[in-house]
Amino acid sequence: MIIYRHHIALCCISFILLVSYVHAHRPKVKIGSQAPDFTLYDERGIAHTLSSLRGNKIALIFYPLNQTSGCTKELCSIRDGFADLQSAGIIVLGVNPGSQESHKEFKHEHHFPFPLLSDKGKKVAKAYGAKRPLGLPVRRITVLIGHDGRVKAILYDVNVADHAQEIIKSFNAA
């Protein structure tokens, strides 16, 4: 009976800690909110600051890992639809916590025409709701930011095979 009570107490404490952690790490951005500014470096060491892109439509592509099948498929879809994204006036920025060197290799191998930004400490991922608990890779989400710097849409169920068109449609619907 004592072991059973300890087990219940441990489960309750674990649940409370988990709920507290999830609550503390909820997405900070919501549709209509001002997109948090950031400065991240791309695969060539060039700084990209969100505030310097104000006046443009931005697609922040948070993807878990370089060189995985889902991420490769997603970013290749964006590469293949890049001309359509440019015609729609959309700037694409890929973001994950990978190193600049791993981004450079990934970009070179697949000929991505957009920068891959290194978010080593996952601070930007956290600010945008893409950070996951317990050291897991970032969530696959895309945050669409309008000319005014406000979040227009957050795409959680990304279609990796046709993501470029999904971004364009979502911007048009926002």
Q: pLDDT of 91-117, one tens digit each?
A: 999 999 999 999 999 999 999 999 999
Q: Between vectors from CA 127 to CA 16 and to CA 97, what angle results, nearest 5°?
A: 100
The domain made up of 28-173 has a fold known as Glutaredoxin (3.40.30)
pLDDT tops 60 at residue 12: no
Kindly report which listed range (17-21, 44-48, 113-117, 158-162) carries the lowest average pLDDT score: 17-21
Nearest in space to 78 (alpha carbons), one of 119, 43, 113, 37 = 113
pLDDT of residue 45: 97
* 71 catalytic per annotation: yes
Task: Enumerate the domain spans of the chain.
Answer: 28-173
- Total-model pTM: 0.83
Cα separation, 92 vs 85, whole angstroms: 8
